[in-house]
Amino acid sequence: QVQLVQSGAEVRKPGASVKISCRASEHTFASFHIHWVRQAPGQGFEWMGVLNPINGKPYYTQKFQDRVTMTRDTSTSTFDMELSSLTSEDTAVYYCARRVHLTSPLGDWGQGTLVTVSS
């Protein structure tokens, strides 16, 4: 059963912002923190940050600290990740992911959202 469903592909111009959504099934919304990870074409995985679904408190990795915002909407069981001041280097597939139990790593992944930044 698919537990995390992401929004569709986006195309943006350099300098713009993009917001990606990740919807969890209602009964699993508060289960575990939501992590955001990206993979640029031909590159490895880059962990961007994590959000606590209970209190909405985020942790951002230093690289994205100034231009990423992670939020959640408890009424719609949705998590959002907004990235601003986009450049071509932000072209990547973005994933939301979470643990499947308290001591596990990321066992539950969204399907990924391709963000293309191009003029």
Partner 1 sequence: DIQMTQSPSSLSASVGDRVTITCRASQAINNYLAWYQVKPGKVPKLLIYGASTLQSGVPSRFSASGSGTDFTLTISSLQPEDVATYYCQKFDTAPWTFGQGTKVEIK
Task: Give the binding site for partner 1 (CB under 8 A).
Answer: 35, 37, 44-47, 49-50, 59, 61-62, 95, 97, 100, 103-107, 109-112
- Residue 15's identity, in one-letter code, is G
User: 47, 61 in Cβ contact below 8 A?
Assistant: yes
Cβ proximity to partner 1: between 8 and 44 the closer is 44
Checking 44-47 for CB contacts under 8 A at 24+ apart, the result is: 46/92
| Residue 68 beta carbon to partner 1: minimum distance, rounded to whole angstroms | 13
The distance of closest approach from Cβ of residue 14 to partner 1 in the complex, given in angstroms and rounded to an integer, is: 26
Beta-carbon contacts of residue 100 (< 8 Å; ≥ 6 apart): 32, 107, 108
Instruction: For partner 1, give the closer residue by CB, 18 or 113.
Output: 113
Name which of 16 and 91 has its Cβ closer to partner 1. 91
Neighbours of 115 (CB within 10 A): 19
Query: In the complex with partner 1, which residue's Cβ is closer, 56 or 107?
Result: 107
Token pair of 55 as six digits: 């209190």
DSSP three-state, residue 58: strand
